[in-house]
Structure 1
Amino acid sequence: MTSQTLSHPYVGMWETTDGRIRHQLLPNGRYDEARGSRESAYRGRYEVSGNHIEYWDDTGFTADGDFVDDVLHHAGMVLYRKQ
């Protein structure tokens, strides 16, 4: 885990407009993703480099995304910071 992961500005909750997909980016470099009523559907680690995020799920798959104008674009989904 890099110190940049711990100090990036994207820590917090991100969700789709319907609230169905929710990504909690934790300050320790871990994430927890909920899908619908299924809490902690996916968990793993992540790293942020600039505006790019890489995910490594605990089950072994990987994914990535980009933050554009404080919006997370990830795997065909658009997630917004939850206020």
Structure 2
Amino acid sequence: MVRNQSGPPEETAGRGAGNANVVGMWVTGDGHIRQELRADGRYDEARGNRSSAYTGRYTVTGNHIDYVDDTGFTATGDLRDGVLFHEHLVLYREEQA
């Protein structure tokens, strides 16, 4: 959460003061679902061979993520101990080579 001294807390994409750093690729254990959280506040989720199955925007408040799909569908997620719990999915940060 980004706080300014004269106003209320603000949500932010990616990483801001007090917010978890979620930017990067997140993948289910079987690799079937791949969710890229970009620094510009956009996400792109692939499912199996279907690239960009879901796209939209996200905001981060602390360790909580709110998603809004480009079709208007909403979802949430929470980052706990380095694991992203996104609705019924469990995603792990993909390591950079």
TMscore range, shorter length:
over 0.9
Report the Cα distance in structure 2 between the residues aligned to 1:57 and 1:19, rounded to whole angstroms.
21
Corresponding position of 1:45:
57
Q: Give the number of the structure whose residues are more often strand, by fraction.
A: 1
Q: Percent identity?
A: 59
Q: Which 5+ residue runs of structure 1 have no aligned equivalent?
A: none
- The offset of 1:60, in angstroms, is 1.1
| SS of structure 1 residue aligned to 2:39 | coil
Corresponding position of 1:59:
71
Instruction: Give the TM-score of the pair, scaled to structure 1.
Output: 0.92
- The offset of 1:3, in angstroms, is 7.2
Instruction: Give the TM-score of the pair, scaled to structure 2.
Output: 0.79
Structure with higher Rg: it is 2
* Aligned residue pairs, count: 82
Q: Give the number of the structure whose residues are more often helix, by fraction.
A: 1
The within-5 A match list for 1:1-83 is 4-8=12-16, 9-83=21-95
79 and 6 in structure 1: CA distance in 2 versus 1, 3 angstrom threshold: closer
